Structure 1
Amino acid sequence: MPNLLLLHGALGHSDIFKPYLSALSQYFTLHTPLFSGHGNQELPADGITIEKYTQELSDYCKVNNLTDVSIFGHSMGGYVALCYAMENPDNVNSVITLGTKFDWTEEQALKESKMLNPDVILEKIPQYAQLLESQHGAKWKQLLPAIADLMVDLGKNPPLEHNFATISTPVQIMVGDKDHMVTLEESMRVYRSLSNAKLAVLPDTKHPMDKVRPDLLLNLLKDFFNLS
């Protein structure tokens, strides 16, 4: 069966894909790798970047002898997927992104990164702190500033900007109409910049993966992949 990679977002976990595994495994061999610093993966001493995560995806495909892969990426996972497709066009059959932020500026990144303060999250959103600890262990407090640094680095040097037109892989850009992190405008801009793309707007859908209705997303995936 063809290979489908499911990529989680920043501070996310491969567990978010559990509602989809049974249905998708009828059509694909599924892969749910964890980016470094997430889940049981160690946080590199020299930090994390989009480039490093793209290399991790490349290494994963090489180690597992994966060719002609399809990729679904949520949020940051979608950004990494497109970076990988840009660098390895012959190895990627198609890419779907959901809730992926493309408009990264240094100012925007600094604003986003300030929200990733472990002490503030512990005080203001204790349930989220508990979730992060359950998914990533005690190192969640180190993962937050590492992700903040990744965002700032992305704001200074977004690798996809000015390069969308070079990506010829079939892509579907998807965004929820109630996503407060990602605008419909930036999603449409990227959709129009890609040479072989489709756009889907999910109704009544917020940014977090657990707020997406599985039936809705599965139907969109089946449509894109031409699955009956």
Structure 2
Amino acid sequence: MLHYSIEGTGKTLVFLHGFMENSNIWNPFVPLFSKTHQIVTIDLPGHGKSDTENEINTIEIMAEKVIEILEFLNISNATFIGHSMGGYVSLAIADVYPQFVDKVVLVNSTSLPDSKEKKEQRLKVIPTIHKNYSLFVRLSIPMLFAEDLKPLLEDEMNELKQIALDNPINGIEAALRGMRERPDRTHVFYELDKPFLIINGTKDSTIDIDLFETVIPIKENIKIEKLNCGHVAFMEKKEKFVRILTSFI
């Protein structure tokens, strides 16, 4: 079973981290949201304290393992809040296990699959990860942040680097290969009549938000928020993130 933490009482919020992260990224928010909700934070397969036995951790495998935890905890309904890869997992849960979904929050994520170029890029970095993972982390983490915010967020960048370095390399490769295989899940927006909150960064160099926003249907249950940041909105614009999330849940 995946490693998880649970705190607070009330309606359940499930926080799912992104690629090369772990559940500790949500630590700054747990004390606040656990005052009004039950908070479940999870280390996805091959990240943090969760092992992996798979060479490829598909998004569907990750979703299934998250649901296993909820069933173990007797949680039948939750709001899923996913950053990047965690957003892919949240959408997969909404697709495959809609009965568990109250609301969905996508943070710097997308419903679209990898482009051909992105798929090739993911394969190309695998040898680098095995050869010099620490270099890969040191180079890639700063790219997640908006250029103009980097001088203000040195501590956050260093924290994210350390979290990334603590992950097992086989888990990182398995997740890379899994993300590469994920399908288009835009249909979930059309088929699932539950509240969706989409938080995009206008300076996100990882997600093509312009392309993503062209496929999001205009529906009353879907809310889009754009923040002046890169790929880690919850770190770059923490106060705004809290405000937006609080009003949605």
TM bin, normalised by shorter chain, reads 0.7 to 0.9
State the identity as a percent: 23
Q: Distance in 1 between matches of 2:33 and 2:138?
A: 34
Q: Given the alignment, which residue of 37, 44, 54 partners 2:63?
A: 54
2:114 counterpart of 1:102: no
Q: Quick one: which amino acid aligns to residue 110 of structure 1?
A: E
Q: Find runs of 4+ consecutive structure 1 residues off by over 4 angstroms.
A: 124-131
Q: Given the alignment, which residue of 217, 225, 238 partners 1:200?
A: 225
TM-score (normalised: structure 1): 0.84
2:190 is matched with which residue?
165
Measured on the aligned residues, the alpha-carbon RMSD in Å equals: 2.3
Q: Distance in 2 between matches of 1:211 and 1:146?
A: 26
SS in 2 for 1:146: helix
Instruction: Say whether the 8 Å CA contact 1:167–1:195 is kept in structure 2.
Output: no
2:158 is matched with which residue?
none
Cα 1:111/1:126, change in 2 over 3 Å: closer
Cα 1:124/1:142, change in 2 over 3 Å: closer
Cα 1:45/1:178, change in 2 over 3 Å: same
1:109-132 CA-to-partner distances (Å, cap 9, x unmatched) read: 222442353125434654867542
Q: Distance in 1 between matches of 2:206 and 2:125?
A: 12
Instruction: Say whether the 8 Å CA contact 1:102–1:186 is kept in structure 2.
Output: no
2:174 counterpart of 1:146: yes
Instruction: Say whether the 8 Å CA contact 1:165–1:195 is kept in structure 2.
Output: no
2:50 counterpart of 1:26: no
Q: Quick one: which amino acid aligns to residue 226 of structure 2?
A: V
1:65 is matched with which residue?
74
Q: Distance in 2 between matches of 1:69 and 1:81?
A: 11
Q: Distance in 2 between matches of 1:209 and 1:71?
A: 16
Q: Quick one: which amino acid aligns to residue 134 of structure 2?
A: L
Cα 1:88/1:45, change in 2 over 3 Å: closer
Q: Which runs of 5+ in 1 are unaligned?
A: none
**1:212: how far off?**
2.5
Q: Distance in 1 between matches of 2:116 and 2:186?
A: 13
2:209 is matched with which residue?
184
Q: Which moved more, 1:112-121 or 1:175-184?
A: 112-121
Cα 1:27/1:142, change in 2 over 3 Å: same
TM-score (normalised: structure 2): 0.78
2:157 counterpart of 1:133: no
Instruction: Say whether the 8 Å CA contact 2:84–2:106 is kept in structure 1.
Output: yes
**1:183: how far off?**
2.2
SS in 1 for 2:14: strand
Cα 1:180/1:30, change in 2 over 3 Å: same
1:146-167 CA-to-partner distances (Å, cap 9, x unmatched) read: 222113222xxx1514443212
SS in 1 for 2:81: strand
**1:80: how far off?**
0.9
Q: Which moved more, 1:210-219 or 1:106-115?
A: 106-115
1:158-204 CA-to-partner distances (Å, cap 9, x unmatched) read: 1514443212221011111111111222331343276721100012x
Instruction: Say whether the 8 Å CA contact 2:107–2:199 is kept in structure 1.
Output: yes
**1:3: how far off?**
0.6
Q: Distance in 2 between matches of 1:37 and 1:217?
A: 27
Q: Which runs of 5+ in 2 are unaligned?
A: 1-9, 142-160
Alignment size in residue pairs: 217
Q: Distance in 2 between matches of 1:77 and 1:194?
A: 23
Q: Distance in 1 between matches of 2:22 and 2:54?
A: 20
